[in-house]
Amino acid sequence: MQLNSSHTELFALPEWPETFRNEYLRQGLWSDETFEQRIKQVCSIYGDKIAICYESKYITYQQLYFRACKIAQRFNDLNIVKGDVVILHLPNSSNYVETLFALFIAGIVPVLALPAHRRHEIEAFANATKAKAWIYQSSILGDSLDDSASHLMASIPALQCLRIPEGESVFDTLQAHKTSSDYFPVHHPDDLVCFQLSGGTTGIPKLIPRRHRDYLCNILSAVAVCDFGPKTVYLAVLPMGHNFTLVSPGILGTLFSGGRLVISDKNYPEHCFNLIKQQKVTVTALVPPLAMVWLDAAEIDPPQLESLKVLQVGGAKISYEAARRVTPLLGCSLQQVFGMAEGLNCFTQLGDSTELILYTQGKPMTVADEIKVVDENGKVVQPGSSGYLLTRGPYTIRGYYGSPEINYYSFDEDGFYRTGDIVRVTPEGYIIAEGRDKDQINRGGEKIDCGELEDILLRHPKIRDAAVVGIDDAYLGERICAFILSDSPPSDVDLRQFLIDQGIASFKIPDRFNFPETFTMTGVGKISKKGLRARLKQSYLLDMGQK
C-alpha cells in the first residue's frame, strides 16, 4: 500500500494471503499494470478517437490525457501529492472524468462522494481519511455548497476546499494551463487507487479501499463478460462515482477498452432517449426505479432506440414483471447485475436463456470468485435453499479502511465477506436475491443505514426515541419510514428541514413519518422492527380503504 506517512502510521490495509495473491497472478486475474499505465496506453492507441461526449462538447483520448496530466500537475503545485487523500464531489460531467484521471495519474487517492452527499457525510469522510482537499462544484442538484465549505474550513482547518463554479471546467478554474512540469511518480500495483463507499455509511464511514491490482481485475473482468470494446458507446446516467456506473464495466470499462463515453446530467426518459438516438448509444445502466420510469415512458411513446443493444439493471433487484417489459418496450436485451462496492459482481450473460435473464441476478464474473450460502449458525445450506451470502475473491476486499471492529463482524475467519444479502443459488450457479439481513434500507439502489438516521433524528429536541424501517415499494424497492416517539410531534415539513440542516444526503430523508404512542419491544428490550413494519403495512392498507 502507498499512502502518505500520516496515513500509514494510523492504518494498515488488510492484505490478501500470499497463497491467494500467487494464485490470482497465476490465473492472470491480477497483473502488475497500474491505472496510469492503462490510461496512458489507451490514450496513445486511440489518440484522435472521441473519448467523451458531454453536452455539446467532444473530447478525444489525446485531449483527455493532456488535460488530465495538466490538472494532476496543478494538484502537485497546490501541495496535493501522491498518497494524499482528497474528496471528489462533482456531478456527472466531463469535469468528473478529467479530474478522476488526473488523480489516478498523480497517485492522489479520491474518496468517491456522490452528488447527494452533503456536509454531514463530507465531514465524516474528511475526518476518517485526513483528507487534504475537498474538490466540489459550487452548486449540486440545486443546492449551494458554499455554506458547507465555510463550515468545513472552520471545523477542519487543514482541509483545502477547491471550489469549481457551476458551468466552469476544473482545468480552467485551477489554471492548469500554467503548469510546465510533466513529472509524475511511479506507482505500484498494490498502491491504493481510490476509496469507494459502503452502502449504509455510518458516522465513521466504512471506506472501501480499492487498489490498482484488484480494481483493474474488477474492471477488465467486467469488460470481458459484457463484451465492451472500441465500438462500445456507453451512456452514464447514474451518478458516476457509484461502483455500478464506474466499473461494472461502466465508465472506466468503456474508456479502458477504447469505447466512447456519453455523459448525461439528467435521467428523465425524453432527454436520455434523445441522447441514445443522437449518439448511437449501445449500452447503459439503470437502477430499477429509473428503469421502470423509462419503461412507462416507452409504453406511452415508443422511442425507437435502434442502436441500444443492452440495458443493465442493478443496484437493487428488478421485479420479474418489470424485467419482462424491457425487450418489448426498449428493443434491447436486459442484463441483470448484482454486486457490491466491496467486490463480488454477478451478471446474467448476454446469451443466457430468457428464464435466467428474467428470474436471476446473474453469476459471478470470474472463476476465482468464491461464494457460500450459510444459515444463521454459519453452516452451508442445502443447494437451492435460502441463506446468507458470503464471498471472497480477487477483487473482493479483505477489510475496510481503518475499521478493525467493523472488519471483525464483516468478515469471517477465512476471509469471506459477509454481504448481508439473503440469496438462493440455482443449479447453474446463478444468484437469486431475496432480501437483506443487515439493518439497512435499499432505496432505489442507495443503501441507508438505519442506525445512522436514528442517531441523527435523536438530535431533535422534541424526539424521545426513533426507529427507521424500510417498507416495500414497487418503484423504489423500499421506502424509508421513521417511527418517532414525541410528546409534541414536529410536522413532517419541520422534520425534513431539520434533517436538511443536519447536512445529510437527500436520499436518506424519510419518505414518511409515523408517531406511535410506544414501540413494540422484543423479549430482551430491543425495538421490534418486524412489528413496526407490520404496523406500517397495515396503515398503508387502511389508507387505501382495504381490510
Write out the chain's pLDDT in tens, 547 residues.
Answer: 455 544 444 456 889 999 999 999 999 999 999 999 999 999 999 999 999 999 999 999 999 999 999 999 999 999 999 999 999 999 999 999 999 999 999 999 999 999 999 999 999 999 999 999 999 999 998 899 999 999 999 999 999 999 999 999 999 999 998 887 777 889 999 999 999 998 654 455 689 999 999 999 999 999 999 999 999 999 999 999 999 999 999 999 999 999 999 999 999 999 999 999 999 999 999 999 899 999 999 999 999 999 999 999 999 889 899 999 999 999 999 999 999 999 999 999 999 999 999 999 999 999 999 999 999 999 999 999 999 999 999 999 999 998 888 899 999 999 999 999 999 999 999 999 988 776 778 888 888 888 889 889 989 999 988 888 888 888 888 899 999 999 999 999 999 999 999 999 999 999 999 898 887 655 445 556 666 666 766 775 576 554 4
Q: What share of the chain is helix, strand, coil (3-state, %, to 5)?
A: 35, 25, 40
Q: Which residue has the cell 477504447?
A: 258
Q: Give the class (CATH, top level) of 441-545.
A: alpha beta
CA distance 3 to 83: 4
Q: Is 223 helix (H, G, I), strand (E, B) or coil?
A: helix
Instruction: Report which DSSP code applies to 443.
Output: E
| Type of residue found at 128 | A
**Beta carbons within 8 Å of 321's beta carbon, 6+ residues apart:** none
**Beta carbons within 8 Å of 431's beta carbon, 6+ residues apart:** 338, 346, 360, 361, 362, 363, 371, 389, 423, 424, 425
Contact (Cβ atoms closer than 8 angstroms) between residue 470 and residue 463 = no
Residues forming a β-bridge with 207? 197
**Beta carbons within 8 Å of 36's beta carbon, 6+ residues apart:** 104, 105, 107, 184, 187
CB atoms within 10 A of CB 227: 15
CA distance 508 to 148: 18
Q: Give the class (CATH, top level) of 60-187.
A: alpha beta
Q: Which residue has the cell 478525444?
A: 60
CA distance 348 to 362: 4
**Beta carbons within 8 Å of 105's beta carbon, 6+ residues apart:** 36, 39, 68, 69, 72, 184
Q: Of the candidates 501, 502, 464, which has an alpha carbon nearest to the alpha carbon of residue 484?
A: 464
For 536, the grid coordinates are: 406500517
For 167, the grid coordinates are: 458551468
Q: Is 371 helix (H, G, I), strand (E, B) or coil?
A: strand
For 15, the grid coordinates are: 492484505
Contact (Cβ atoms closer than 8 angstroms) between residue 153 and residue 280 = no
CA distance 305 to 405: 49
Q: Where are the beta strands (DSSP E) in 439-544?
A: 440-443, 446-449, 465-473, 477-485, 512-514
| DSSP-H helix ranges across 371-527 | 404-410, 450-457, 492-501
CA distance 401 to 408: 12
Q: What region, left, alpha or beta, does residue 182 occupy, with left being phi > 0 and alpha being psi -120 to 50 degrees?
A: alpha
Helices 492-501 and 450-457: crossing angle in degrees, nearest 10, is: 100
Q: Where are the beta strands (DSSP E) in 93-232?
A: 109-112, 133-137, 139-140, 143-144, 160-164, 192-197, 207-211
Q: Of the candidates 510, 426, 419, which has an alpha carbon nearest to the alpha carbon of residue 469?
A: 510
Q: What region, left, alpha or beta, does residue 355 occupy, with left being phi > 0 and alpha being psi -120 to 50 degrees?
A: alpha
| Measured torsion, CA atoms of residues 311, 313, 319, 320, in degrees rounded to the nearest 10 | 40
Provide the total of helices (H) and of strands (E) in the chain, helices listed first.
20, 26
CA distance 39 to 455: 43
CA distance 309 to 299: 18
Instruction: Report which DSSP code applies to 187.
Output: -
Residue spans of the domains in the chain: they are 60-187, 441-545
Question: Can you spell out the DSSP letters for 264-314?
Answer: -S---HHHHHHHHHHHT--EEEE-HHHHHHHHHHHHHS----TT--EEEE-
CA distance 424 to 418: 15
Note the pLDDT of residue 201: 42
| Type of residue found at 452 | E
For 343, the grid coordinates are: 467486490
Q: Of the candidates 170, 474, 471, which has an alpha carbon nearest to the alpha carbon of residue 317?
A: 474
Contact (Cβ atoms closer than 8 angstroms) between residue 123 and residue 145 = no
Q: Which residue has the cell 456536509?
A: 119
CA distance 539 to 339: 33
Whole-prediction pTM: 0.88
Backbone dihedral angles phi then psi of residue 152, each to the nearest 5 degrees: -70, -40
CA distance 147 to 38: 38
